[in-house]
Amino acid sequence: MLKRLIDITASSAALVVLSPVLAATAYKVKKNLGSPVLFKQTRPGLDGQPFEMIKFRTMKDSTDKDGNLLPDSERLTPFGQKLRSTSLDELPELWNVLKGDMSLVGPRPLLMEYLPLYNSEQARRHKVRPGVTGYAQVNGRNAISWEDKFALDTWYVDNQSLWLDIKILAKTVKQVLIKDGISAEGEATMSKFTGTAATNELAQ
């Protein structure tokens, strides 16, 4: 209850204080990428329940001749990369926090298509609300493997506390300033999760 109260208070205050930044960023997105300004996608929340997450758009909607979206590396523009490096694209998620879909701190909400790929241990990351930032984000972000990321997520589930959240938020500010771990090596963002070796073996 205390965590939720802090989420409501902090997100509502941040939305007011950062409203000029939100407006300026929206204008820049419209100018550089066109409409829509916001990127909306269904993601799994608490207990894997779907919700619509919102972010500022960072990619073009370019497709191949068959209408399929091009790879992230071809759709992510220098402007979009700058938005990601400063984490400005994440600011609209404060609305998700205020609504209760997300928390300020928790495992990042990933794709719905990953749900059947998790093993029982990895699936425990959904025992708490997903976060704008999280323990994995301040310990490697996209520069670590999926398995390491999920291990950090479940460690957070087992060890969450108000003091830990404060430390994660402080480290997040530092990480944004030094722009660390924005993408995986050789990737524009992060390669798709296809399941761990053990999970794949069970599925065969």
Rounded to the nearest 10°, the torsion over CA 23, 97, 180, 137 is -170
State residue 179's pLDDT score. 65
State residue 126's pLDDT score. 97
Tens of pLDDT along 138-151?
998 777 889 999 99
Domain hosting residue 107, numbered range: 2-203
Question: For all residues of the chain together, what is the average pLDDT?
Answer: 87
State residue 199's pLDDT score. 46
pLDDT, average across residues 70-97: 87
Token output for 82: 């700058």
The model carries a pTM of 0.84
State residue 175's pLDDT score. 83
Q: Please give the tally of structural domains in the chain.
A: 1
pLDDT, average across residues 153-178: 92
Residues 6+ apart with CB under 8 A from 123: 48, 115
More confident residue, 104 or 84: 104
pLDDT, average across residues 150-173: 95
